[in-house]
Chain A
């Protein structure tokens, strides 16, 4: 049993790494544009298919395929921003949500139409090494490293560049940022594109581990938002920590009980936090 739990723990940390990137993307998009990207999980799914197409169908090296997939993901994000999100920035909340739900449907079904509903996998075998009774797969460790590196790069961007500073300012006080000369329209699409890049990196991380199918990713969106709330809106460090917590909790619970219970537990945690501690574990960085 403890063996099972340990493996759940290990998987949870690695899963948490991917979730952390997603949560950061969701956090930025929500903080800057005040939009919940309901179709975010589907964007990851499309990027995964991109990796599949380039690596398996076109026989390009995995690394190259992943880089291309990140690019495609960024482009998809820009397309969604221009076509759907931007026109609805001032629209009522329900319209934004439903339009993004429409994007969910479009992405899932185009992929379904083109690739069918079979589970597709990128068959690459990486070595596995053991620490005691726990098996650690290199295929999980590399993505973990990539995830941390991406987060570090993002941190640098947000804290050392003017655009990053503008993003952090908008999250706190949009109007004041405008009065400082920030062109919010530009920052919006930059933020959305960053979200797309992060989704692409998540896909690259998940490619060696998961098999992909059109319904993949639907569950991630909600989990990512749960993490955003848990970590505190606008608080990227909090979000990262929350991601690992959620990753571990859901994987360990899933192993000890069933995967349904794992998911239900995550959602229950969300409801408790949204009611009693909406600023999350470490406090929100946004003036609500």
Chain B
């Protein structure tokens, strides 16, 4: 479904990513792990159109999307949940969700999407008139994911959903991810917390200083001694 080939991207003259190739198959969950500065966020930004790739191509469902502006890529069905969620704190929960169905493809189905989201995350229904800024960290992440769902995506990308949250909340966040995975969405997730993340995935990539150093199916990934030592603390 998503095919990234030989992408290099960065800011100005500095390329943070060098010739990355990954793919996400329909209905699967793929994770990308790596320490800070490895370039994981940059890759998600390149896919979502925020940072245009300096070279390489990105295809989504056979269509070439590198170089497209962000709003076009959302329309095509890729949603990004950025680090920290970045919900609109001066809008209500309801308005945040409504903002999610801004793309014209999603707008017609606003009522249906809203119902679906409220079913999956009943807390949001209770809080719908509340200012998003007053939600707790975990609740914001929930709202951010729900908002992404409102765009009627096929692929959901999550940038370090557990970052900055207390361990108990982290567990909850991964529950949310499991929930949407169960709904059949394809997921590309970037995480530092490898142990919890790999549990959800079918396939994993390891990114270090801008290049892919390892990739594999979940079991192989977990068995790799280097990964076990550096990232799983085993």
Contact = CB atoms under 8 A, between A and B. Distances in A.
Interface of A: 162, 165-166, 168-169, 172-173, 175-183, 234, 285-287
Interface in B40-64: 48, 50
Contacts of A177: 99
Contacts of A178: 50, 69-71
Contacts of A182: 71, 102
A217 B88 CA distance: 36
Interface of B: 48, 50, 69-71, 74-75, 79-80, 82, 86, 88-91, 95, 98-100, 102-104, 106-107, 147, 151
B82 A168 contact: no
A181 B71 contact: yes
11 contacts: A162-B107, A172-B88, A176-B88, A177-B99, A179-B80, A180-B74, A180-B100, A180-B103, A181-B103, A183-B69, A285-B90
Nearest to A163: B102
A64 B80 CA distance: 49
B90 A180 contact: no
B48 A168 contact: no
B102 A173 contact: no
A234 B89 CA distance: 13
Contact of A176 (B82, B90, B95, B107): B82
A283 to B, nearest CB: 10
Contacts of B99: 165-166, 169, 177, 180
B22 to A, nearest CB: 20
Contacts of B74: 179-181
Contacts of B104: 181
Contacts of A183: 69, 71
B86 A173 contact: yes
B102 A175 contact: no
The 6 closest A-B pairs by CB, nearest first: A181-B103, A181-B74, A178-B70, A181-B71, A285-B90, A176-B86
